[in-house]
Structure 1
Amino acid sequence: MQAWVRSGVTALIVCVCAALGVTLAEQDATPVPASAQVAAAPATTSDAPGQDRPNIVFVMTDDMRADELRWMPHTRELLAERGIAFTDAVSPHPLCCPARAQLVTGQYAQNNGVQHNAGPFGGFQALDPSQEISSWFTREGYQTGFIGKFLNGYTDLDQRPSGWDHWDALSAGVYDYFDFSFDNDGSPVAFRDSYVTEVIAERTNATVRDFAAKDEPFLIYSWHLGPHYRINRQGKPVPAPAAPIDKGRFADSVPPALKAPSFNERNVLDQPRPFRNRLLAREELVIAEHRARLRALQSVDRAVESLVETLRSVGELNNTVIVFASDNGYSLGEHRFVGKNVLTDEVLRVPLLIRGPGVGTGLTSGLPVTLVDLPATFTALAEVSPGWLLDGTSFVPSLIGQDQPFRDTTLVQTGDDGGDGWAYRGVRTSRYLYGVNGSDGFLYDELLDPGELVNRIYDPAYAEIQTLLEQRRLQLLSCSGESCNQTFGMLPEPG
């Protein structure tokens, strides 16, 4: 990283283009203007000494909504205020296993095989453990470590995913929060009456200290469980428990979802099947879950603080890119729905914060990045050559507030545990959200209807728009590599 900081912005963009195989002809896409990307302070870069290639530490939560970041003061202060916040980041396949598979393969589900959490196309069993991007980093001199929650169904009896020098995934009691086990490089270790977030934080920090004692840079994935609900010893889902220090907090907090126009939407007959004829969400249960989620996130917030302090104590903070995100968002009563694996704004959108050498401070970006773009960005930062086609695109230029060509249409999709493994598959643009599952579908005009209250799929004023979005959808359903990152052009106005 220090090498490209010294060489300036021009060298950085050349490096990124070379790493991704981008030609000058491919850069004809409409650039996202810097005015749309950057707010607050101007970009600054670090001139601290360090190795040429940066360390990368990726911290991830589970089921965290983008609006819940406001209750994580350490994360906001240490990452958002000292880095860049992407305000339109989404999880394009918003469910645990498909999202996580994207992050270890750099590919959409049609290419990595993980379409759902269960069924023949779901869970760890659907992932090829020999096809993980970590092996590229190991091959090119990085130390690699994974700590925390992996894909549903993984146990210490399964094949260890390739490429990780240190493999410490949760392997039993994954959703328990208090009684669980870690793989611990093939020598499983059990914890009883411990709090999982605190243990993940401790084991992550120990890995940082171990890797920092060596000369090579490192890549670490530290994936937390909070604020995902707990599955108790009776096998029942219950709200996430708090660490002892956080019990009783947020007793008066009210979820922002209650003020959303879509909360317990009155008329859902025009909505797609997941929302039609659904009973009203029980407000008291939504409030209770919201408060439990905030309490669970406090330990993650402290984990971020301890990570930053650990990196500082071993002299690696100024040479480390820290990334914070969630695997997907979560609905808390919008459209009467509580959960995920649907295509709505609150489920698609995720927090995404990045801090590191060369990254501007106090910036925000409206670039429509997705989780699929993170592996491409990591490989570009580390100057690592991908071993197969990546479906995402690097957004390294945006990290320093530069204009950047970018796609104008993003593939979004959900899976099923039966049939062919697919449910709703569609596209998202700066204005529209469109999806189809067999004969059922939806089309939302986010500009006129940000609450997604009106399904315009049968509105004749949107017929031409729907036709064009369907054409884009059909092109992207089987996309791979650069074909997933097309610029289709402007859509007409309705009517």
Structure 2
Amino acid sequence: MRRALSLLALLTAAVLLPVGVLDVRTPAAGTTTDGGDGPPTSASLAAGQPNVLVITLDDMREDELAFMPRTRALLADQGVTFENSFSPYPLCCPARSSFLTGLYTHNHEVWSHEDPWGFHSLKDRQTLPVWLQAAGYDTLFLGKYLNGYGSQPAPDGSAPTSTTYVPPGWTDWRGAIDGGPGPGHPQDGGTYRFFNTTLNANGQYYLEPGRYQTEVFGDLTARMVTERAGDDKPFFLWANYVAPHHGKPDEADDPKPITRSDGEKTRFVTTARPPRVRGIFDGVITKAPGASGEDDVSDKPFFIRDLPPLNQAELDGLLEVTRQRAEALAVVDEQVEKTIAALQATGELDRTMVMFTSDNGYFLGEHRIRQGKILPYEPALAVPLLVRGPGIPAGQVRRDPYTSIDFAPTILQAAGVSLDTVDWPLNGQSLLDVARYGDRGWRRAVLTETGPRDIVADVDEAGPGSRPQDIGPAVRSFSQGIRTARYLYVEHASDEVELYDMREDPGQLVNVAGRPAYREDEEALAATLARLRDCKGGSCSAPMPRRLQG
């Protein structure tokens, strides 16, 4: 993987990996699931229309796969790991909108989770489930949808809230409701209330009181798989876990507010987890990923320069946050195993493509950012992506870049849908053949985007909002950049530029923008960003200049 699993992974495997992991090996390379000889072709697999099951987590970092040995054994070891998987706009609502539409944020225009954006700003009449349903699929949804679902008005204007709204294209809808039906209501719960989650089940909401949400979602996923097994129609199931995102209830071991060295307060937010997993990593995780800090931030943009180093009390609090996230992921790991077991028990495993990912990554102290996402540094940009299924070889790694905008075209190709027949200007491209047959080379740039500066500052605690002298040409997108095999290049609306040589500096600590040795590459990167910042349709995946390809 991009950051190789260290001794930590070996220790967590010893803690969690059961002796009797399911024997769910994929067919040997060179065979088909029906016993034929030779590798299956796209046409032959499409004719069978495999099931597609996508498991998405919320705010999970790529390196946190270390805490999920079952998932690695059942998916990575039996499929393909994309080690360069990215969330181009690392924020829940924009990232999930890209998954659904195959578009970059500047095209789907869901710039934030907050008004005037959020759930109700997505044009949901042209999305992946709509296209799959038209192709003959039963489409199933479970868990977290887009921020504001439930509390914001229904996009079709049918109601002032969306507590009973079912988006177009879904055959079976079980979406968690933000805010629930309201205080005092007997079924009041919420997406981020881990022991009181309210779900909209096909237009009728109900409460799951007292049960840990992750376990509820695991049971429901297995039940939905079992209910569809043996049907004439294939199914597409998008199962969305909220962990390790922060949420309620508050717990006794949560960090208390801490005074920073500049007098400001750090208020760490934490996830929730059941008592049975509390403390299981205390002897393993001894520091947060970003605990080593960054001594010199003079070459960073103003919103990083304004941040003081973390003091010891903050490092202790961040360690607790890291452990709690790992504990929550250990429970998700069990649900992944439960899901694969349901597929195996129903005879659906060999005809199901299973994908495991996260909507975005997360900062845990890197670049002095206590917590958060959005900014295009690697901890927020990088996400896990594991794929197993028909025609996918076991235990292989891919280097070609895969992003949020690639899920729709990849899944459509797997479903046998010709992308030429989709009347929609997809920005992404299918990487199904890359998963099956191997890399083609990192030839396109990954565009990174953010929302307005005040949204970035509010979510990431990364310094103050915009100041008049900092505002450049970008209004909606404060920061835009591109990620290539070698570089991260970012232009901010404050007229500040960042350039990191990932071969020499994977931690992105030394900004080399403006250095003579990088002049020609920086010019090529700037020109590529200028072409992509407002790109439309397939031009968003056009090849970079040859000197930038890796």
Fold agreement, TM-score > 0.5: yes
**Does the 8 Å CA contact 2:80/2:387 hold for their aligned counterparts?**
yes
Structure 1 residues 66-124: Cα deviation after superposition (integer angstroms, max 9, x where no partner): 1110110110110011111111111111111111001111111111111222132x311
Within the candidate set 491, 496, 513, 1:457 is matched to 513
**Does the 8 Å CA contact 2:194/2:213 hold for their aligned counterparts?**
yes
1:425 counterpart SS class: strand
Change (3 A) 1:255 1:96: farther
**Does the 8 Å CA contact 1:2/1:52 hold for their aligned counterparts?**
no
Structure 1 distance, partners of 2:137, 2:34, is 18
Structure 1 distance, partners of 2:74, 2:250, is 36
Change (3 A) 1:4 1:367: farther
Structure 1 residues 20-72: Cα deviation after superposition (integer angstroms, max 9, x where no partner): xxxxxxxxxxxxxxxxxxxxxxxxxxxxxxx8110000001111111110110
Change (3 A) 1:214 1:342: same
Structure 1 distance, partners of 2:225, 2:68, is 23
**Does the 8 Å CA contact 2:32/2:40 hold for their aligned counterparts?**
no
Q: Which runs of 5+ in 1 are unaligned?
A: 20-50
Structure 2 distance, partners of 1:4, 1:373, is 28
Structure 1 distance, partners of 2:143, 2:316, is 31
Task: Report the equivalent of 1:413.
Answer: 449
**Does the 8 Å CA contact 2:400/2:439 hold for their aligned counterparts?**
no
Task: Report the equivalent of 1:94.
Answer: 90
Change (3 A) 1:99 1:256: farther
* 1:52 maps onto 2:48 in alignment: yes
Structure 2 distance, partners of 1:160, 1:360, is 36
Structure 2 distance, partners of 1:407, 1:203, is 40
Matches within 5 A, 1:374-453: 374-385=407-418, 386-404=422-440, 407-416=443-452, 420-438=475-493, 439-453=495-509
Task: Report the equivalent of 1:208.
Answer: 225
Within the candidate set 372, 376, 384, 2:405 is matched to 372
**Coordinate RMSD, CA, aligned:** 2.6
**Does the 8 Å CA contact 1:75/1:301 hold for their aligned counterparts?**
yes
* 1:193 maps onto 2:189 in alignment: no
1:230 counterpart SS class: coil
Within the candidate set 154, 170, 189, 2:176 is matched to 170
2:70 counterpart SS class: helix
Q: Report the CA distance between 1:403 and its aligned residue.
A: 4.4
Identity across matched positions, percent: 35
Structure 2 distance, partners of 1:300, 1:253, is 19
**Does the 8 Å CA contact 1:408/1:430 hold for their aligned counterparts?**
no
**Does the 8 Å CA contact 2:89/2:95 hold for their aligned counterparts?**
yes
Matches within 5 A, 1:33-72: 52-72=48-68
Structure 1 residues 410-455: Cα deviation after superposition (integer angstroms, max 9, x where no partner): 1111113669431211111111101112112211111121111111
Matched residues, number: 455
* 1:80 maps onto 2:136 in alignment: no
Change (3 A) 1:414 1:213: same
Change (3 A) 1:224 1:284: same
Structure 1 residues 329-353: Cα deviation after superposition (integer angstroms, max 9, x where no partner): 1111111112101111111111100
Structure 1 residues 295-315: Cα deviation after superposition (integer angstroms, max 9, x where no partner): 000111011000001111111
2:531 counterpart SS class: helix
Change (3 A) 1:243 1:10: closer
> RCO greater where, 1 or 2, for CA within 8 Å and sep 6 or more?
1
Please, what TM-score do these two structures have when normalized by structure 1? 0.86
Q: Report the CA distance between 1:179 and its aligned residue.
A: 1.4
Q: Which runs of 5+ in 2 are unaligned?
A: 1-30, 152-160, 181-189, 252-266, 456-473
Change (3 A) 1:78 1:283: same
* 1:317 maps onto 2:372 in alignment: no
